[in-house]
Amino acid sequence: MNATLAPARFGRVAVLYGGDSAERDVSLDSGRNVLEALRRRGVDAAGIDGVPALVAALAAGRVDRVFNIMHGGAGENGVVQGLLEASGVPYTGSRVLGAALTLDKIRTKQVWVAVGLPTPRYQRLAPGSDVAAAAARLGLPLIVKPSLEGSSVGVSRVFDAAELPAAVALAQRYGGELLMESLIEGGEFTVGILAGEALPTIRIVPAGDYYDYHAKYVAENTQYLCPGLEGKAEAEMRALALAAFNAAGATGWGRVDLMRDGAGASWLLEVNTTPGMTSHSLVPKAARAVGIEFDELVWRILATSGTALAGAKP
């Protein structure tokens, strides 16, 4: 369907980026790339930085459709989605429930556990929780992270109990509850999801100990192996990622992050409903492996914003 649509059918497209979350800088980079790609395809697209600017543009009648690439915060927690639903404006990415649920890593894991999908053992750390007791229940090594952040913001790996206070203090800078989970030692993988299909797996091989913010967005020596697996193992991980994405209520496009331990078992970590679209980002790499170049990927994502194209120009 999307290959035959004239660009004008999408109407005036607002590329929503920036905002005020800890992922603002990455979102600005993603937004610039998406905006340029849409314009190269002839789409009438304009950039909008943050929710207040979006509200003003909606009130002025300047928006027919939104390509949401505002990472974290209001861009992924259901706020933007609810605003656009109430305004009757089509948009990319998950709906309200899928966005709000998947931004919260704890609630996402609760859903996965309920439906029998594999995810590392975890402890929810509400304010005032006994951190030492939670760590004792899980055992070392473990991970401490904010439940509501992405891009590896505020994440620490803990191998010794003496490292716990610093890990908790770092995660607490970002507010909300904290997630403590068992550290799965093995290969780091990710699977992009596009329009109901799982893209090839990517195995991430950072030069350092693990795939942190620096390895994701700064380092040039991180290796990305795509596909990351072969044969049955590849098919199984892609199927698991798609099942996890669907179980969490996510739709349209996104990315599922996993670990694969030494025994070959896969473990679900989280869902990202508005993945990065930078030069280092993973969904574009996976799409390219099946012949979908960046501009075409952006076009296909935009096409997931609504099959009826309600409110678009004829």
- Catalytic residue list: 23, 151, 217, 255, 257, 270, 272, 276
Question: How many CB atoms lie under 10 A from the CB of residue 211?
Answer: 18
3-state secondary structure 84-145: HHHHCCCECCCCHHHHHHHHCHHHHHHHHHHCCCCCCCEEEECCCCCHHHHHHHHCCCEEEE
- Which residues are paired to 169 by β-bridges? none
- Which residues are paired to 191 by β-bridges? 201, 256
Strand pairing of 223-225 and 44-49?
A: unpaired
Residue type, 309: L
Edge to edge, what strands does the sheet with 44-49 contain? 44-49, 12-17, 65-68
The C-alpha atoms of residue 159 and residue 10 are separated, in whole angstroms, by: 51
The C-alpha atoms of residue 286 and residue 200 are separated, in whole angstroms, by: 6
Length of the chain: 314
Helix and strand numbers (H, E) in the chain are 11, 12
Q: Which helix (H) or strand (E) holds 237?
A: helix 231-247
* C-beta separation of 10 from 43 below 8 A: yes
**Beta strand ranges found along the chain (DSSP E):** 12-17, 44-49, 65-68, 122-125, 142-146, 156-158, 178-182, 186-194, 197-205, 223-225, 253-261, 266-272
User: Which residues are CB-contacts of 13 (< 8 A; sequence separation ≥ 6)?
Assistant: 38, 43, 44, 45, 46, 63, 64, 65, 66, 67, 302
